[in-house]
Structure 1
């Protein structure tokens, strides 16, 4: 294996091992009509930058809803941050090189 492949493979393995340790507390997942789902996750992901700044100044502001519906809320939150929040747009812009 070349040196160019070892670092990305090691990084991917480290990330995989760290994510394997992650779990959601069962009390944080709930199923009901009033529990935030995909659409609320999408909205919360979109407003994340502003909510995070607000949470620094007020303990009443949270960036993530608990309890939520679990996987669908998480997926909506991820899409809201990456797509609507500009996460994938700003990283993919082509920069002019001199």
Structure 2
């Protein structure tokens, strides 16, 4: 292993270890969390997560389209958004695994 490979192998986990506590300090601003009845909640969060790929592409070209609703009701919207992306949307791809086994006779 070269000296550059050792440095790279050490720098990546170090950068992650330094950035993780910084990410833990992230907090949603209370002015964007609303308790009004028409504020997006869990179900709209799930829907927005499900349509995320389409909304993301549209947001590149249309300034009125966003991928995340602000204001929202906080944690429940975030949880629905997460489920929409991971379970119902991008992460729910059907895959087909084919295993081929070939037998050879040994001589």
Range of TM-score over shorter length = 0.7 to 0.9
Unaligned runs of 5+ in 1: 1-8
Give the TM-score normalised by structure 2: 0.69
Structure 1 residues 15 and 78 mapped into 2: Cα distance closer, same or farther (>3 Å)?
farther
Give distance in 2, aligned partners of 1:39 and 1:58: 24
* Partner SS state of residue 55, structure 2: helix
Name the residue aligned to 1:43: 47
How many residues were matched structurally?
90
C-alpha RMSD over aligned residues: 2.9
Give the TM-score normalised by structure 1: 0.75
Give distance in 2, aligned partners of 1:80 and 1:25: 23
What is the CA-CA distance between 1:25 and the residue it aligns to?
A: 1.1
Unaligned runs of 5+ in 2: 1-12, 101-107
- The C-alpha deviation readout for 1:47-84, integer Å capped at 9, x for no partner, is 00000000000000000000000000000000000000
The structure that has the greater radius of gyration is 2
Bigger share in helix: 1
